[in-house]
Structure 1
Amino acid sequence: MREDEASSGPRVLIYSHDTFGLGHLRRSRAIANAIVSGDGWARAVIVSGSPVIDHFAFAPGVRTVRLPPVVKFLDGGYGSRDAAVPLDRTVALRTDIIARTCAAFAPDMIVVDKEPAGFHGELLSTLAWAAERGIRLVLGLRDVLDEADRLVPEWERKGAVETMARFYDEIWVYGLSRIHEPLAALPMDPETAARIAERLTFTGYLRRDLPERRPGREEPAMAKGPFILVTAGGGGDGAALIDWVLAAYEADPGIPLPALVAFGPFLDDAARAGFDARIRALAGRVSAITFDSEIEFLMSKAAGVVAMGGYNTFCEILSFDRRAILVPRTEPRREQAIRALAAESLGLVRVLMEEDGREPERMAAALRALPEQTEPSRVLVPGLLGGLEAVARRVRALAGSGLGDQRVRACS
C-alpha cells in the first residue's frame, strides 16, 4: 500500500465489468462518491472496463483503474474491443489487473456490480483470495435483472447462484421489493434460498444530486428556457427512441416545448448523421448534443424527460422529480420494460411500449401531455430513494471494525 493512501477509514474496492453502455459505471460512481462523502477517511477504487471512464469526475478519495474493454455483439457474444486481441487473452489481462489492484489497495470490502463471478469468471480467483483473508464481499444488484426465462438459463450457465452463496457476505438490491424482486425466479434448494434470504437487503434507489460543476461548463442555448430532455443513455441502443421522437416533431408542428436530444457516446456514426440532418430541418424545435458527463444539470432544468428507462436514468428522474415518458427496450433484455411498467403502475412515470405501435402521433400526444403529468414526488413510496444512505450504513457496519488487522492479512 502506498504511503500517501494510508487512511483510518474503510477502504472499498468496487468492481464493474462494464461491457456496454454507461449504467454500471454511473451506478458505481454514485456508490463510491457516497462512501467517501459519508466518511472523510474512507477511500474507494473503482475497477471498470468502461472505455469512457476518463470522461467522468469523481469525489476526492475515489480512484479508478481501467480494465481492457470488451464489446458485446448483437448475437449476445463478446469480443475484445481491439479486434486483433483474442478474448481469452483480454480476460487473462483483466484478471491479472484486478488481482494486482486488490493486493496493492488492500481493501476492507469488495463490492461487485451485478456479475457474481465477474465477466467470463475473471473475478473468481480474487473472490477466493479475499475470502481467505476475511475481506468482506458484497454483491450489488440493480432492481431488475431480466425476465425469468432469460435470467435463469444465463445464471445457470455462469454458476451464479453457487458463486453468490459461496462467497458473498451480503447482497444489496438497489431498489424496492414492491417494484421487483430480481432473485425471486431463480431456482434454489431450500438451504441455499434461506442463506441468500438472510444476506439480502433492499436498499431503495440511489438518489442523485447535482455534481460539482466542471470549470468552463457550457450548455446548449435551448437549456435557458423550458425544454424536454430526450436521453438515450450511452446511445448504443437508443436509435429507435430518437427516431420516434423526431418523427413526432416532424408530424406535429404544434408540440409546445422544444426537445434537446442527448445522443450518447456510443450512437452509431451513420445513425447520428441521419438524425443531425432531420434535426436541422426541424428549424430550432429540436437540437442535439453528443454527450454530457454532467447530464444531471440538464435533467434538473428540463420540463420533462423522454428516456428508455435504464436504472440510472430512472434514479435521476426520481431524484430531480421530473415528469417522464419511458420507452423501454425489450431486447436483448426486458429489464427496462419490467421496471418501467412497475413504475407506471405506481403512478411515477408514463410508459409507451413500441410493441403497441410506433405511430408518430402516439409520441406527439404524449409529448403534448408531458407538462401536465404528475410529478413522481406526488406519489408516496416509503424508502424510495434511500439507497445511498443504506449503502453507507452497511459499509460502516461491515468494514468499520478490525481494519488494521484485516489489512495485515490482506497484504500477507
Structure 2
Amino acid sequence: MRGDSLDREHHHLVTPGAAPRWTAAQARPKILLYSHDTFGLGNIRRSLVLGELLGAEYPGAAILLVTGSPMIHAFTLPRQMDYVKLPCLNRTTADAYEPRFLSDCAHEVREARSAILEQAVLTFRPDLMIVDKRAAGIDGELLPALDATRRLARRPRLVLGIRDILDAPEVTRGTLRANGSFDVMASYYDEIWIYGSPCIFDAVSEYDFPAAVAEKTRYCGYLRRAAVARRPHTGPPRVLVTTGGGEDGRDLLTAYLSAIAATPEHMFDSTVVFGPQLDTSAIDALASRVAGRADVQLVTFDPNMARRYEDADVVVSMAGYNTVCELLTAGVRGVLVPRAAPVQEQLIRARRLAARGCFSLVEPSTLSPDTLLSAVRDALGGPLPVGRAVDMEGLARIRERVHHLLTEQRS
C-alpha cells in the first residue's frame, strides 16, 4: 500500500485512485454488514451509505444488513440489499444497554440477537463482513458469529469500521482494553477502517492502539455524500434545525424554538426536523412554542436530509458523525451544538472542526435561546465556508480496500 506524509509505522492513509476493473469471479460477492444500532440513527445511516457504495460497485452483489435499528423500514435500501432485523436495544449509559421494547426479556433478547447473527453468517456465507464500531458487538453478541466465520469452507474477510472519534481518549483507552475489544480486533479482523483523518483526530495515537491492531488500521477519510443541486430562493434566510434521531436533542430544539417565538415573523424561514425517536408528548410541547407561526415548518422525520441541507442558508444541528459528513459535503454554514454526555465524541468533533473554521460552535454549557440566535445571525452574516482542509475521500478508499480484500479472499 502506498502511503504519504501522514503514514507512520503504526497506521496508513490510503490514497484513492482509479476504480478497479472487476473480474467475473468478483462480480457477485456476498457482503454482510452488521450494525448494532442502540441509539440514534448514526450507525444505520453509515451502513446504508456503505451499502449504496457496494451496490453501485458490484451490480450483481448480494448485501445483507443485520441491524438492530427500529427505523430501518423507513429508509430506501439499494436494490441488492436486504436486511435481518435484530430485537431492539436501548443505550442507558455510555456502555450499558437494555431491551427497548421487551423489557422483561433481557436475557432472551441478548441470546436471540447473538443466535441470529451466528446463523446469518453460517447460512449467508459472506465473502466480506463489515462490522460497524463494536468489534465484539454489544456485550459480546457478535463473538459466536466471528467464531462461525472460521468454520466456513471459505473464510470471509473481516473489517471493523469505526467513526473518527469514539469518546474522550482517557475513557476510550481503558474501555477498549477492559472489554477485550483490542484482543478481538487483533484475533479476528483483517483490517480496521477509521472513517476519519488523523489531521482531525489521530485515533491510533489518542487511543493507544496496540501494535497488532495499529498495523492493520487504515484511515479512510470522512464519507462524502452525493451532492444535491441547490434550489433558488428569494425569501428570508432559510434555517434548518435537526437533531438526528431526536432522542437527545430536546435542549437544542427548545432553545431554538424559544428564540424564534421571541422574534418577529419572517426574520427567518425555519424548518425544524424533530427526529423519529423524540416522543410525541415532547413534540407537542415543542410545537406549542411556535403555534400559528407561518414561518416555521415542523417535520417529524425525513430519511433523506441531503436536499434540506443543500437548500438551507444555515443548519443548526448536533455534531453526530453522519450529520457532519453531510454538512461538509453540502458546503453549508453550520452551527453545531454537540451533546457532551454520555460520551464526548460530538463535543470533541465539534471543537476540532470549529477550530479549523469548518463550523460555528455553541458549547452545550452555554446553550440558551439568546446564544443560539446570536450564533445563527453571525453564521448568516459570515462568508460561506471555503477551503475546508478535511479529507472527504473515504468512499473512494473504501472501494479500493474492498477490491483488495475480495481479490485476496478469492485467491
Deviation of 1:261 (Å): 0.4
Query: Does 1:238 pair with 2:249?
Result: yes
Residue identity matched to 1:66: K
Identify the match of residue 191 of structure 2 among 170, 182, 189.
170
**What does residue range 68-87 of structure 1 map to in structure 2 within 5 Å?**
68-73=87-92, 77-87=96-106
Looking at secondary structure, tell me which structure has more helix per residue: 1
Aligned residue number for residue 257 of structure 1: 268
Identify the match of residue 358 of structure 1 among 350, 362, 367.
367
Kept in 2, the 8 Å contact 1:207–1:315? The answer is yes
Query: Does 1:197 pair with 2:208?
Result: no
Identify the match of residue 270 of structure 1 among 281, 304, 327.
281
Q: Unaligned stretches of 5+ in structure 2?
A: 1-24
CA–CA distance in structure 2, aligned partners of residues 335 and 210 of structure 1: 26
Kept in 2, the 8 Å contact 1:347–1:379? The answer is no
Q: In structure 1, the residue corresponding to 2:264 is in which secondary structure?
A: coil
Query: Does 1:293 pair with 2:293?
Result: no
Give the direction of change, closer, same or farther, for the CA distance of 1:168–1:352 in structure 2 (3 Å limit): same
CA–CA distance in structure 2, aligned partners of residues 45 and 299 of structure 1: 29
Aligned residue number for residue 65 of structure 1: 84
Q: In structure 2, the residue corresponding to 1:280 is in which secondary structure?
A: coil
Query: Does 1:369 pair with 2:339?
Result: no
Aligned residue number for residue 173 of structure 2: 152
Kept in 2, the 8 Å contact 1:228–1:306? The answer is yes
Give the direction of change, closer, same or farther, for the CA distance of 1:353–1:84 in structure 2 (3 Å limit): closer
Farther off after superposition, 84-93 or 297-306: 84-93
Q: In structure 2, the residue corresponding to 1:73 is in which secondary structure?
A: strand
Deviations 1:237-294 (A, max 9, x none): 000110111122233438832211000011132221111100215x223221100111
CA–CA distance in structure 2, aligned partners of residues 374 and 43 of structure 1: 45
Query: Does 1:116 pair with 2:135?
Result: yes
How high is the TM-score relative to the length of structure 1? Answer: 0.87
CA–CA distance in structure 1, aligned partners of residues 150 and 289 of structure 2: 55
CA–CA distance in structure 2, aligned partners of residues 223 and 146 of structure 1: 42
Q: In structure 1, the residue corresponding to 2:281 is in which secondary structure?
A: helix
Deviations 1:74-106 (A, max 9, x none): 585321123344222111111111111122221
CA–CA distance in structure 1, aligned partners of residues 381 and 80 of structure 2: 42
Q: In structure 2, the residue corresponding to 1:27 is in which secondary structure?
A: helix
CA–CA distance in structure 1, aligned partners of residues 204 and 88 of structure 2: 28
Let me know the Cα RMSD of the aligned residues. 2.3
How high is the TM-score relative to the length of structure 2? Answer: 0.87
Kept in 2, the 8 Å contact 1:231–1:262? The answer is yes
Deviation of 1:207 (Å): 1.2
Query: Does 1:93 pair with 2:107?
Result: no
Query: Does 1:386 pair with 2:393?
Result: yes
Give the direction of change, closer, same or farther, for the CA distance of 1:187–1:317 in structure 2 (3 Å limit): closer
CA–CA distance in structure 2, aligned partners of residues 399 and 246 of structure 1: 50
Farther off after superposition, 222-231 or 309-318: 222-231
Aligned residue number for residue 324 of structure 2: 314
Residue identity matched to 1:373: G
Aligned residue number for residue 409 of structure 1: none
Residue identity matched to 2:62: R
Aligned length: 381
CA–CA distance in structure 2, aligned partners of residues 225 and 93 of structure 1: 52
Kept in 1, the 8 Å contact 2:37–2:67? The answer is yes
Farther off after superposition, 24-33 or 83-92: 83-92
Deviations 1:27-53 (A, max 9, x none): 000011101112222232111000110
Deviation of 1:344 (Å): 0.8
Identify the match of residue 350 of structure 2 among 340, 360, 369.
340
CA–CA distance in structure 2, aligned partners of residues 267 and 259 of structure 1: 19
Identify the match of residue 324 of structure 1 among 317, 334, 350.
334
Identify the match of residue 181 of structure 1 among 202, 205, 218.
202
Q: Unaligned stretches of 5+ in structure 1?
A: 1-5, 212-221, 406-412
Aligned residue number for residue 312 of structure 2: 302
Identify the match of residue 52 of structure 1 among 71, 75, 82.
71
Farther off after superposition, 361-370 or 46-55: 361-370
Kept in 2, the 8 Å contact 1:223–1:298? The answer is no
Deviation of 1:296 (Å): 1.5
Deviation of 1:132 (Å): 4.9
Kept in 1, the 8 Å contact 2:265–2:295? The answer is no
CA–CA distance in structure 2, aligned partners of residues 331 and 84 of structure 1: 24
Give the direction of change, closer, same or farther, for the CA distance of 1:402–1:17 in structure 2 (3 Å limit): closer
